[in-house]
Amino acid sequence: MVNTYGAFGTVGRVRREVILEGTDEAEITDQTVWREYEFKGKPGSVHRLPRQWAPYHLRLDWLMWFAAISPLYAQGWRAAFLARLLKNDRATLRLLRHNPFPNAPPRYVRALLYTYRFTTWRELRRDRAWWHRTLIGEYLPPVALRTAGAASEPRD
């Protein structure tokens, strides 16, 4: 008897991505400037060429992909990860491609959910963008560091 093996029975046709952002502003308003964290492998900036990391496995990027499918996938590790971003934890930041807060940690972080698709050849030539993304909505409202060990609950 022989079986086939596959990690996934199917892969969805829609690609959703959680984009983490931070701000160093003291108060959140409609004018707040948010800066994106960049991951090593997963899509973020629409102008960045998609990367191939084989045979390496970028586990955090992979976990973020699952988190985009359902927030329940991130329940066990999300608060600790956000707390480390809010502390500018060096070991955690080494897992990322770009930290938009090199000199001091952000006051707040949040997450937005987008749908991504590859651009057409025409769009790529015109816009120099590899991806097109559409905002679905807020994935996680702004959170701040309350204690040394955890991110606060989402603010009202």
Q: For residue 107, is it within any domain?
A: yes
Please tell me the predicted confidence (pLDDT) of residue 57: 86
Q: Write out the residue range of the structural domain in which residue 63 sits.
A: 14-143
Q: What is the pTM of this model?
A: 0.86
Q: For residue 151, is it within any domain?
A: no
Please tell me the predicted confidence (pLDDT) of residue 86: 97
Q: For residue 149, is it within any domain?
A: no
Please tell me the predicted confidence (pLDDT) of residue 22: 98
Which residues of the chain, if any, have pLDDT below 50?
Answer: 147-156
Q: Rounded to whole angstroms, how far apart are CA atoms 125 and 45?
A: 16
Total domains, the chain? 1
Cα 89 to Cα 19, 33, 47: the distances in Å are: 19, 22, 27
CA nearest to 33, candidates 108, 135, 136, 143: 108
Please tell me the predicted confidence (pLDDT) of residue 54: 81
For the beta carbon of residue 23, count every other beta carbon within 10 angstroms: 19
Q: For residue 155, is it within any domain?
A: no
CA nearest to 20, candidates 147, 151, 128, 148: 151
Instruction: Tell me phi and psi for residue 33, to 5 degrees.
Output: -95, 120
Please tell me the predicted confidence (pLDDT) of residue 51: 83
